[in-house]
Structure 1
């Protein structure tokens, strides 16, 4: 009986893994463009807080209605810690950074996340050295990101100050995201759906508090948002947060860190394609070479995972 159960659960786990990775690869690759649309004419932290408070309320309510028990104080503390790291700090930094640098540059800098993730996992958390194949895949992926979005695009109209501010914010976000990801498997969290909702509620509340203190907004500024911003926020709530973040949260608790890290290489490819379709950006031969190298890096990391 035990062998039958194992043979059934393994394919189910693999299918869930494939679906979660696909969700994070595709949906999160689109978030750069939609965050830009959402904050073109609205304060960034305020709109980010509305996004996460809305998505978090939906997930939390769904979790409770489908039988999840009331979270304990310890679980709120754990989920709140992860939420502040992943959403309050990391996503908040990204949202602000997109006010200073183009979305393609942001995707390039966010592609550095696997270095933080695997280095922290090696040095501080699990003391696990990635396999040589996985390290090779990481390096190959970074080379692909370089070809995809050349660093000379950092010379934007905003000047060096804007470039440094944007790059610094995403670097802080990468560090916070890596720590939050690695902590997810160590803290006592409730069920998957309600845990994601709790993380979004706490992260959104943190963003809202900072927004109220630093941005020219009120509680009801959302009614002044243009249709494009509201539509983008709705997309981010459903596809970026409810589906995408929940998929990532599952991966953070059930997949090896080096496999989870591969999304950071695929997202810039998706961002490039969407930019060409909806923002008039051109796809060059060098961009296609970069995309091919990135996919090769993903394959190596997948084959080299422990």
Structure 2
């Protein structure tokens, strides 16, 4: 009798966690764009994640969660934090200095394609026929996206696109790593350690890059609001939800956030920052997201299924 309420509660947590990574993460492109126009990217991200880590540690301690972890868990948290946050987030924020927030979100929507290829190369996972369709659509959509005239003529846009590519590779590998690595069992504590290491490494990267640090008291009101929302919602709520989902459902399902994030980012970027949504960008978005659907769907394409069945019958008869 007691298992039903527990299962229902877990299902509700999964739904809320997906809502967090779908909607909140879609808004972080706008918030990071506002902040990075005034603050250096690595310092911005470093401050965001170390502040969030401190708040999560306090929350976990008050909740009675054990904060002690073993050496392997600490090293794995360090590695995951470096890949997810120092590279995966730090480079994407840096890229926003050269790209519109909606464009960056659309480029990152190809991440399931990167995860699929990594699972094939590193884990030997066989690519399903429908995923080949997804790969083809992903390549076409990405070409349409990056070949826009206003992007090609924009100064240093290629730097932003390269940074996003590095970000996708790092985030994708981290997703596969975290799914199997030994990490703190409590997802709240797990998130705190990843953010602590990732944030501290970003501060080191900021120092090496020679970024000019500034005190929050000197920040504009818009940046203060953006940072507060990034820390509370983008970091604590959304990233904790992300870690929870990686341990609860498959990495491919978690990657479906790329369906919604670009749409949210495009709408918010157009409304608040007057970023233009061109017809070519709209076509690229439709094709890219269709490709993501084919990569993530478990349904087999009837045409391929019939072809394989017919081939097997022929082989059997011969």
Q: Do these two structures clear the TM 0.5 threshold for a shared fold by scoring above it? A: yes
Give the match for residue 194 of structure 1. 189
Other-structure match for 1:51: 48
Match of 2:108 among 106, 110, 114: 110
- Partner residue, 1:100: 98
User: In the comparison of the two structures, how many residue pairs are matched?
Assistant: 298
- 1:8 and 1:305 mapped to 2: Cα distance? 31
* Distance verdict in 2 for CA 1:244–1:229, change over 3 Å: same
Partner residue, 1:266: 260
For structure 2, list consecutive stretches of 5 or more residues without a partner in the other structure.
301-318
Kept in 1: contact 2:96–2:104 (CA 8 A): yes
Map 1:132-211 → 2, pairs under 5 A: 132-137=129-134, 140=137, 151-158=148-155, 162-190=156-184, 191-211=186-206
Do the aligned residues in 1 keep the contact of 2:30 with 2:269 (CA within 8 Å)?
yes
Contact 2:112 2:292 in 1 (8 A): no
Following superposition of structure 1 onto structure 2, how do residues 1-306 of structure 1 map, counting pairs within 5 Å? Answer: 5=3, 9-69=6-66, 70-125=68-123, 127-137=124-134, 140=137, 151-158=148-155, 162-190=156-184, 191-218=186-213, 221-282=215-276, 300=294, 303-304=297-298
Q: Is the 8 A contact 1:256 1:305 kept in 2?
A: no
Instruction: Output the CA distance in 2 between the equivalents of 1:58 and 1:244.
Output: 14
User: In 2 relative to 1, CA 93–139 (structure 1 residues): closer, same or farther, beyond 3 Å?
Assistant: same
Q: What per-residue deviation string (whole Å, max 9, x for no partner) do you get for residues 17-54 of structure 1?
A: 22222211111111111101011122121111111111
**Aligned equivalents of 2:52, 2:125: Cα separation in 1:** 35
Structure 1, gaps ≥5 residues long: none
Specify the SS of the correspondent of 2:125. Answer: coil
**Whole-angstrom distance in 1 between the partners of 2:45 and 2:5:** 40
Q: What per-residue deviation string (whole Å, max 9, x for no partner) do you get for residues 237-257 of structure 1?
A: 111111111111112222222
What TM-score comes out, normalization by structure 2 length?
0.82
User: What is the TM-score of this pair, normalised by structure 1?
Assistant: 0.85
When residues 268 and 283 of structure 1 are mapped into structure 2, their CA distance, relative to the original with a 3 A threshold, is same
How far off is 1:195 after superposition? 0.8
C-alpha root-mean-square deviation of aligned residues, in Å?
Answer: 2.8
- Higher Rg of the two aligned structures: 2
Q: Which residue of 1 aligns with 2:304?
A: none
Q: Whole-Å Cα distance in 2 between the matches of residues 236 and 36 of structure 1?
A: 11
SS of the counterpart of 2:180? coil
